Amino acid sequence: MTSLLDSLRQYTTVVADTGDFNAIRTLRPTDATTNPSLILKAVQQDAYRPLLAETARAHRGASTAELADRLLVAFGTRILSIVPGRVSTEVDARLSFDTRATIERARGLVAMYEAAGVTRERVLIKIAATWEGIQAARALQAEGIRCNLTLLFSLPQAAACADAKVQLISPFVGRIYDWHKKSAGASWDEAARAGVNDPGVQSVARIYRYFKRFGIETEVMGASFRNTGQILALAGCDLLTISPELLTELAGAEGTVQPVLQAGMAGEAVERVPTDEVSFRTLLNEDAMAGEKLAEGIRAFVADAKKLDALIEAARA
């Protein structure tokens, strides 16, 4: 009998959302995504502490920022020895509002990968979908550096990314679900807001249909899942990045997945979303959920980046 995971693979590229390359080896995804929080989690495990120590020893004179990037690339390089596709590596979230610094950091990451023998086609540079981040991605894409825009919670963010011709976007599901559930309080009806009625699922589906309607080539990768129901409700999306825990759950369940999203669907008749800076900032400001979750996400990644810095400092002490 086919597992739900194997059935899902027929319609959607399955991506592992983790820095744990032992889990990646077991779950056999096509691609993998990482971020500072996931790498922080990994290097605190006994299996991965030696990689942190090895990186610190090999680059004793490097700054903490450079060591952090070299650690991310070390994880990414090992992941790419396992998966057939791509790995996403994130630019420091502290640069989310600095276009020039984001560009320079991204170039540095790609140079490190290329020095390790990894071609840039196998690397996606993750950048927060702020206005500044999107403009950095526009410049990087023009140089042949492919980008994955993350912390994306709204159609205006997605449309601006498409206008910048980014390779891929990662619209979040679970964090949108969290916001609406918290906002609804006691009136939240879990059963009524599950599956295709989940607000996070609906947001990704709306972006997917918009992209297909206008022939936008940017890939859509649903991210940040709280349960397998959200994943199955987006079957057929270009890609889905999923935690090892939920991948394992899907692998252990028998069943057949039917595609919910399909490339031929044009979606409802909608006008193009304006993508100039004033419209972007205005529309994001008017969407309380998207504005709050973007800011919250950046703060959380910055906090974990600082914790990772502390571990790096301790490792080379």
126 is catalytic: yes
Pick the catalytic residue from 41, 126, 212, 293: 126
Question: CB–CB of 39/94 below 8 Å?
Answer: no
If you search the block for the tokens 């994880």, which residue do you land on?
75
- Give the whole-angstrom CA distance, residue 122 versus residue 192: 40
Please give the span between the terminal C-alpha atoms of the chain, in angstroms, as a whole number.
Answer: 53
Q: How far apart are CA 157 and CA 25, in angstroms?
A: 33
Contact 208, 237 (CB under 8 A): yes
Pairing state of beta strands 13-17 and 87-90?
A: unpaired
**What are the structure tokens assigned to 226, written together?**
């709280």
Handedness of CA 244, 11, 158, 286 (dihedral sign): negative
Exposed/middle/buried for residue 160 (C-beta within 10 Å: 0-12, 13-18, 19+): buried
Catalytic residues, which ones? 126
